[in-house]
Amino acid sequence: MLVAKIRLDSDSIIERMTDAARSDIAVNGRSSPSGRATYRAPAPQRRHRLLSPHFFIFAVLFLLGLVAFDFIRFSDGVARLAAPSGIKAEGIVALTGGAARIDGALALLADGRGERLLISGVNPSVGRREIARAVDNESRVAFDQSVDLGHSARDTIGNADEAKAWARKNGFRSLIVVTSDYHMPRSMIELSGAMPDVALIPYPVSNPHLDMGRWWRHVASVKLLMAEYLKYTLARARLAVESPWGTTATAPVETAATGKTADGSR
């Protein structure tokens, strides 16, 4: 009797264990074609590849490579810039920032390459007399008769706005742009953005103290080009998303000969 009872209890325990196993399989597994249930463990969650550290490092290195390539392309383009010969336009615009810019523009004016010259971005405290003292005798007549001074521009964006108002006032449809070689790329995109209907001819001048032909050998040249490249890139990005330029108010331009501004005031 005791043996039979133990055997019955064992059969009961085995049956309960089997029922429990079947219930668990019914929830987490599927039945095989033979009728037996099989258990399938849940698949481990995989981390998205785009969030992996390797992808992030690759993206950063790729972006740095693109920036380095674009900077070298920009710097080599500046090094290859040269003043063209035989050019002519209705007007000449010189962007202040160095004596070589004004000298080059005055030489073009004296040679009859343009009807009038605008020197844009002149300090408000500097008048015609101060600039005339630095002009040589050969360019003095052209300066007195055909040079206008713009005092409102504080940066390249202001130069573009000032040149636009001056060209519109004189009815000019073509301009020679005189500025430093490293400053020329940014100047051209700013002025062309402000005056898309005016033909612009770049006339770069070089600073004798900067060897742009071998810019990578001089720390000062590299720093200057890096700063200019950053401004150039930001200007490109801004003009890509900016609405078309509208008419903005600018300070009067001081005209030649009379020493008066365009509105008649001194």
pTM: 0.71
Q: Please choose, from the candidates 229, 225, 167, the residue with its C-alpha nearest in 3D space to the C-alpha of residue 200.
A: 167
pLDDT per residue as tens, the chain (266 positions) = 444 444 445 555 445 545 544 544 444 445 444 545 555 655 555 555 666 788 788 888 889 999 999 999 999 999 999 999 999 999 999 999 888 899 899 999 999 999 999 999 999 888 888 888 877 777 777 888 899 999 999 999 999 999 999 999 999 999 999 999 999 999 999 999 999 999 999 999 998 778 888 898 889 899 999 999 999 999 999 988 875 544 343 444 555 544 544 444 44
Taking the C-alpha atoms of residue 162 and residue 187, their distance in angstroms, rounded to an integer, is: 13
pLDDT at position 58: 83
pLDDT at res. 15 = 54
- Put the strands of the sheet holding 91-95 in their side by side order: 199-205, 174-180, 91-95, 116-120, 147-150, 253-254
What are the C-alpha distances in Å from 145 to residues 73, 114, 265? 41, 13, 18
- Please give the pLDDT value at position 57: 86
pLDDT computed for residue 258 by the predictor: 44
Q: Structural domains in the chain?
A: 82-210 (3.40.50.620)
Q: Return the axis-axis angle of helices 99-110 and 137-146, rounded to nearest 10°.
A: 80
**Alpha-carbon distance 15 to 37, whole Å?**
16
d(CA 153, CA 196): 19
pLDDT of residue 26: 47
| Residue length of the chain | 266
Residue pair 119/147 in contact by the 8 Å Cβ criterion: yes
Helix H or strand E segment including 180? strand 174-180
- Decide: helix, strand or coil at residue 104: helix
CA distances, 96 to each of 31, 152, 262 (Å): 86, 12, 20
pLDDT at 214: 86
